[in-house]
Amino acid sequence: QVQLVESGGGLVQAGGSLRLSCAASGLSFSRYDMGWFRQAPGKEREFVAQISRSAGITYYADSVKGRFTISRDNAKNTVYLQMNSLKPEDTAVYYCAADFAVGSRWIARAFRGYWGQGTQVTVSS
């Protein structure tokens, strides 16, 4: 069964950095697009970043572009989210996600792939 396990969340001051990791199992990792969503209290889940199977294409939400970097290591079945210059507005539960054979940017409300359990990121001012 597919499992996506996030790690690396925590508490950080504004302007600081965190690196999230997501270890995938139960799927042929290199055949899946991977990415991240997040959900803050009182808000809907939103798209954060996505990376293609070969890592040749990436997508970012406008709110994180230039600050966050998504990457993947297919040999380790792991996807990462490097988060720099963090802001209090980035506070949310971050969810790793996977989708088979997709060829376009993910939309949160239409996403039909797999989700992890989430990891909390809290940015203090």
Interval 56-63 mean pLDDT: 95
**What is the DSSP-derived secondary structure letter of residue 62?**
T
In this prediction, residue 119 carries a pLDDT of: 98
pLDDT band of residue 54 (cuts 50, 70, 90) is confident
In this prediction, residue 95 carries a pLDDT of: 98
pLDDT band of residue 55 (cuts 50, 70, 90) is confident
User: How is residue 104 written in tokens?
Assistant: 């376009």
In this prediction, residue 39 carries a pLDDT of: 98
pLDDT band of residue 37 (cuts 50, 70, 90) is very high
Condensed to tens digits (0 to 9), the pLDDT of residues 70-105 reads 999 999 999 999 999 999 999 999 999 999 967 789
In this prediction, residue 79 carries a pLDDT of: 98
Which among 111, 15, 110, 36 has a CA at the least distance from the CA of 80?
Answer: 36
In this prediction, residue 15 carries a pLDDT of: 98
Phi, psi of 90 (to 5 degrees): -80, -5
